[in-house]
A and B are shown apart, each in its own frame.
Chain A
Amino acid sequence: EVQLVESGGGLVQPGGSLKLSCAASGFTFSSYGMSWVRQTPDKRLELVATINSNGGSTYYPDSVKGRFTISRDNAKNTLYLQMSSLKSEDTAMYYCAREGLRRPFAYWGQGTLVTVSA
């Protein structure tokens, strides 16, 4: 069974940094692209980062480019999201998601909550 478990969320001040982790199990982690998707308090969903299976290719939308960095450790079956220069609009539930065949977000974790506030 595919399992994705996020951790690392919490309360951070504007301008601060936070690193999220996603522990994967139940599948061959190194064979799949992974993403971070966030859901804002108004329930809007937004892709924030994508990484391919070997970590050699990443993508970020303009809203987080230069502030967020996605990475992975295939030996530890773990996905990461380093977030810096955080803004109040980054407040959201952050989900990690695994791709499937012809499906960008086939499996989702339960999420970790990030709150950016003074």
Chain B
Amino acid sequence: NIVLTQSPASLAVSLGQRATISCRASESVDSYGNSFMHWYQQKPGQPPKLLIYLASNLESGVPARFSGSGSRTDFTLTIDPVEADDAATYYCQQNNEDPFTFGSGTKLEIK
């Protein structure tokens, strides 16, 4: 199975500053010219919400403050500038290989 390692496990960022979350895959998640990596946001008591698909594509309705980058085994979710509403846990997820797997999550606190 592809293991996704997120770092840091938690971070605190001041309002208006940049938050950067990393996701490292145990093997490449690239195929056919695409990186099969996605990012989700989850707030307490709610299901995960898709933010970024195929590494860098912004889901409809998601603010442009969110962006994704990376390829093969190293991926990054950036939130710039951070707003109070961004306090949540963020997960990466790959579907290049069965079973689809998720990272363990990064909890973002807003200072």
Chain A contact residues, CB within 8 Å of chain B = 43-47, 50, 59, 61-62, 95, 100, 102-106, 108-111
Q: Is the CB of A105 within 8 A of B50?
A: yes
Q: Number of contact residues on B: which range applies? A: 20 to 34
- Closest partner residue, chain B, to A99 (CB atom): B95
Among B34, B47, B48, B101, chain A packs the most CB atoms within 10 A around the CB of: B47
Q: Is the CB of A108 within 8 A of B38?
A: no
Question: In the complex, what residues of B have CB within 8 A of residue A43's CB?
Answer: 89, 105
Chain A interface, >50% SS class: strand
In whole angstroms, how far apart are the Cα atoms of A36 and B106 in the complex?
A: 22
Contact B50 A45 (CB under 8 A): no
Closest to A105 in B: B50
Looking at the assembled complex, report how far the CB atom of A36 sits from the nearest CB atom of chain B, in whole angstroms: 12
| Complex alpha-carbon distance, A59 and B101, angstroms | 13
CB <8 Å contact, A47 and B53 = no
B28 part of interface (Cβ distance < 8 Å) = no
On whether the beta carbons of B98 and A105 are closer than 8 Å, the reply is: no
Given A43-B89, A44-B102, A59-B98, do A102 and B48 touch, yes or no (CB 8 Å)? no
**CB < 8 Å: which of A44, A62, A102 contacts B54?**
A102
List 8 interface pairs A-B (beta carbons < 8 Å), by A numbering: A59-B98, A61-B99, A62-B99, A95-B48, A108-B47, A108-B48, A108-B49, A110-B46
